[in-house]
A and B are shown apart, each in its own frame.
Chain A
Amino acid sequence: MDIVILGLPLYYYIAMVAKVLVAFVFVLLTVAYATYAERKIIGFMQVRIGPDRVGPKGLLQPIADGLKLFFKEEIIPAESNKFAFLLAPLIALIPAFITFAVIPFGETIKVFGYDVPLQIVGYYDNGIGKVVDINIGMLYVLAMSSLGVYGIVLAGWASNSKYSLLGGLRSSAQMISYELAAGLAIIPVFMLVESLSLQEIVRAQLGMKWFIWNSPMTFVAGIIFYIATLAETNRIPFDLPEAETELVSGYCTEYSSMKYAMFFMAEYANMVTVSALMVTMFLGGWDGPLVSSYPLLSPVYFIAKVYFLLFLAMWIRATLPRYRYDQLMALGWKVMLPLALGLIVATAVAGYFGFYTFSGLFCN
């Protein structure tokens, strides 16, 4: 009954294509409507109306924006390095999307009698006849996020403009600095879970034992990670690379039309991805009440948590002013990095004595 193609069963291919399509469309739609939601939410918070002209309540605004950008004239500066100039938006956009491949967005569900894990990447183990999670999920995420820097550095350099170059340099310095803090802040999670697989990390948090409140170390780590991801995605209060008053619009000053739109999309796709990561590592992933008896609820919980974090980022944008550049670097290197290193030591000590959870702290 099972059709096997190139050593893998047919259902594996079908499930893979379906998952890729669903996740990709989900991220794209979220990116499009995050721009609309952002304008609406910030408008509401600042007692404005926000976009309301295109379609009912302005709901077609993202489509109108997309069309406008699509039909705009494309300008390539004469003195630019054309190859790098054209490549940069692609390099910025691709890592933002492919990081999503390892994020588990739901419990394993049964479709026509087959177990389909709701996570794109996974290899089929012929020995046990199941799809298994790759055990370096988190390292893959770190690797891809470190590649996103290239898009911005190249855009800044290839434009051959002072504003772009300064914006690109600032942005890459900022991303590298905060990547360290983010990378170190997730180590306590690995120490508690003893695995790099994102599925395993979610399973360790099942039953509302989410890391954000389950252990003091991961609580602090979660906050550090969230702040670091805000900085990595160039969001207010860390949007120095695009500080309008100083740098016009930073590394994408010289970009127009669809290429500008790609940088814009990359920024929002990055937001979605890091929100999903934050959810997976600290907010229990797809865990929630009743998820063990109704596995189909799990994607709903996952999406709700991601949207909550996106809302939080917009809320922060409407609230906080921008950091000064030296303050930003001081915060990254002198506060968050030592704190994250200290957390690793604290987790190791606490783990040695066996009281790393809040409940363990109070019961022992």
Chain B
Amino acid sequence: MAGGQHQPIGVLGAALDACKTALLAFGLCVPIVLLRTDQDISNQLILVPRPGLTLALVAIAFASRFIWLLAADWHGRRPARVARVPVLAGMTLSPEAARRFAVGGLIFLFAYPMLSLALVGPAGSIKWIDNFGIQILIYVMLGWGLNIVVGLAGLLDLGYVAFYAVGAYAYALLASNDVVKDFMAELIGPWFWPAWGFWICLPVAGILAAFWGIILGFPVLRLRGDYLAIVTLAFGEIIRLILINWVDVTGGYAGISGIPRPSFFGLPFNATEDGFAATFGLEFTPLHRTIFLFYLILVLALITNVVTIRLRRLPVGRAWEALREDEIACRSLGINTTNTKLTAFAIGAGFGGFAGAFFAARQNFISPESFTFLESAVILAIVVLGGMGSQIGVAIAAIAMIGGTELLRELEWLKHIFGADFDPTQYRMLLFGLAMVIIMIWRPRGLIANRQPTLFLATRRAISGDLVKEGHG
């Protein structure tokens, strides 16, 4: 908008244009907003006209267009600036800045539970640690897991939630299975499974999810781009439908409840004598478990991150990135593209499975409702918004998206303005959409778009003169 050669439109012109916009808004509002279907007392369908709301929306459309045009006018009259780049476009992180940001973020994250305890006290901090901290970190981990598949290897996976679900159900079924429990009780002792079950089931769930990644990968990785996206989308739905319909095993819609919670390396978080609190001489509070879960998911997410960063520097990670750039060139350079894709899929799925297992242990209850397509979309949105392949970008996007959603719950006071029916969380998707559009305009490659090279010249050793003269090959 509003380039150097912008023709001033004038107040009258702007008003006329805004009228057209209002007319358009009115046309859209008549079928969508004006009439609402409702049931009256005798369960009859009735139409409730909402002229007030319709008029308000039309007025908003008019006003926004009018102001927009005038603002553009005003911009256009000023001398054209050399660089009309939005502030955000400057956000390319230098390696040092990224490192400082990461270290600062880490210190903050490790201090976070204590900080919130100190600031809002034990009662208030559960919300901040659980709803914000743990919830966001789960999505950071999922984002990093999917980042391997989408960001690094360039395989568009719309069904990532399937692996999250596999991990969660694998954990839930294994940890609460009596046969396994009895077997372990006989093999090692009855104390073993309640204490260490979580720590055994967690990796098993991750491995199972990775295994499913390979199973899905084999048939579909011949596909590319849109076709791969569609098949993965379908796979996500298939897993969900199986979870719903295989009632004997998964409990169908009812889900699985009473999933064993993790223990502190053998010490349960309860008020008993050999519980965590008693052992360490603390007063029992459920907050201990929450804080433990926070650190657990923090460590899991960090493991995901470290593994990804390491893998990027190994041949397989380089091959992923090269694959994203050009598959044909990869093959002509002797890279087995099928295996490369499979490893990306399996490792990404494995991390999704870990996150799922953690989710099941934290919730204590899972049902297919937690694994809808919307979840896949949110995770993918996190990766895309963050900047494909950028670890820090993904973390920032997860904080913004998930933290933003949680913040919407805090906006209760809006009810005083819009009435008691108003639920700000209902507008979550609208805001996601808005965020997407804005990001795609400002930063088409995501928040942090610059890719850090993984290979540097050790300056002193680089191409020394004698090597150049040698010239043999």
Q: Does chain A bind chain B? A: no
Chain A positions near chain B (C-beta within 8 angstroms)? none
